[in-house]
Amino acid sequence: MIVSLEGCLIAHTPLSCIINIQGVGYEVFIPLTIDLPKIDEVVKLWIYAIYREDNQSLYGFNTLEERNFFKLIVEKISGIGPRTALAMLSKFKLSELNHCIATKNAILLAGVPGIGKKTAEKIIWELSDKIKSTNVHIIGGNTFNSQQNDAILGLIALGYKRTEAEAMIVKFAEKFPEASADQLIKNAIMIR
């Protein structure tokens, strides 16, 4: 079974890349949040392989933790296939997904394409004992408490880009570090 690949990155799209290893090109499906080097540079990805009678699909991730989360979702949650699991890791960073599950935030999870409210609740139910959340989260080099992290995830759910949401929260959180997630979201939108 293939667990990791290391080779020359020869092409990529937002959701896949091709890695050349000793003259053989491997197509690997990837989340949008992945960090890839430039073309013709060496890339190493952790791989989850799915073998079927008519197809072999490879899914690649920067970290072993992301790969293991993907594997857990695909293997343990009935009705969730690799495309939906990849969509989860494309919309949110792993730390954000862990936080959503640990805090039972089904509404935010339901914002992932292919996941409705019932499926989000099912994911939380099946994985809540396997996922732990901490009170402090590091996102993009900034440290946020739980309320600030919830506010960032709320702004993302409202359609803001992750970097934009973080910048909005940083501005307001400096003045009011103990504000609730709702207060942070409302004020961040107002002062924008």
Residue-wise pLDDT for 134-165, tens only, equals 343 444 445 566 677 777 877 877 777 777 78
Residue-wise pLDDT for 62-90, tens only, equals 999 899 999 989 998 888 899 999 999 99
Task: Read off the pLDDT of each residue in 178-185 and give the average, rounded to a whole number.
Answer: 80
pLDDT score of 39 more than 70: yes
CATH topology of domain 136-191: Helicase, Ruva Protein; domain 3 (1.10.8)
Query: Which of 9-18, 88-97, 106-115, 139-148 shows the lowest mean pLDDT across its residues?
Result: 139-148
28 within 8 A of 5, measured Cβ to Cβ: yes
Q: How does 19-29 read in b/e, with b if 16+ C-beta sit within 10 Å?
A: beeeeeebebb
pLDDT of residue 30: 96
pLDDT score of 29 more than 90: yes
CATH topology of domain 4-127: OB fold (Dihydrolipoamide Acetyltransferase, E2P) (2.40.50)
pLDDT of residue 21: 96
Of 114, 186, 113, nearest to 147 (Cα)? 186
Instruction: State the DSSP H helix or E strand holding residue 89, giving kind and residue range, or none if neither.
Output: helix 82-91
pLDDT of residue 132: 52
Q: Spell out the domain ranges in the chain.
A: 4-127, 136-191
Q: What is the crossing angle of helices 94-102 and 117-127, to 10°? A: 90
